[in-house]
Amino acid sequence: MFGLFNKKNKVESVPFSFPKVDIHSHLIPGIDDGSPDLPTTINYLTELQELGYEYVITTPHVMMDMYPNSMSTILKGCDEVRNAITQVGLKIEFDTAAEYFIDEQFLELIANNQLLSFGRDQYILFEMSFMQESLLVERVIFDLKAKGYTPLLAHPERYNYYLQNHDNLHHFKELGCKLQLNLNSVTGYYGSKQKALALKLLREGLVDFVGTDLHHEKHLNALKSLIDTSVEPMLLKAVEQNNSIV
């Protein structure tokens, strides 16, 4: 059976298993471009539990112009999901942080300690435009670390400007920023170039964690394609790091 990784790369592959912990998804109903309602969220969580997930840390978008979510709106939504989980008898644990877009509001939230972090090392998940690297990214990394947080850049393999040259990702790692890979990137869901970069980042040891970045049914179906697929050990290493994040 052919796996995700071509034999000509001479990388030994092993059966894939999903992590117990997911650190990137959009499952609070109706507050961003993820799950639209509570029944959909419960359906997705049921599916994730069947894949082997035990703990989901969902991360709604916080973006000044498009998704102006606050700590209160996010935490309220999280409580509603937890109540529904209890009512239907799911075993999965549910928590929340956020996926912050680099903008002026994010800088203010950092300065005022109004951030939702997760894990023992207080990870802050952040993203930037897919088309142009933010001029503020190094400042964000510095400011987060100065406040005692651990910066975590979401899906670096999806940013178009890193597809040809990802030297800056090595630099960000040197500054103390961690990197989170989307699992669906290795399935080719986002495109062949994104898949190629995802594999390259794994082989270079740059990936710290993986996430589903689950928004909708298509994402879920792509994730399921990983079942019984052969992958290389570096991906499983990132999976294991997920399981120790809390």
Give mean pLDDT, residues 55-83: 97
Q: Where are the domains of the chain?
A: 15-243
The full 3-state SS of 31-88, as one line of letters, equals CCCCCCCHHHHHHHHHHHHHHCCCEEEECCEEECCCECCCHHHHHHHHHHHHHHHHHH
> How do residues 9-57 score in pLDDT, each as one tens digit?
455 788 899 999 999 999 999 999 999 999 999 999 999 999 999 999 9
| Tokens (6 digits) for 211 | 């996430």
pLDDT tens digits along 178-236? 999 999 999 999 999 999 999 999 999 999 999 999 999 999 999 999 998 888 889 99
Please report the pLDDT score of residue 11 as a whole number: 57
Cα R_g (the chain), whole angstroms: 17
Is this structure's pTM higher than 0.85?
Answer: yes
> Is residue 2 predicted with pLDDT exceeding 50?
no
d(CA 47, CA 148): 35
CATH number for the domain whose boundaries are 15-243? 3.20.20.140
CB 51 within 8 A of CB 223: yes
pLDDT of residue 122: 98
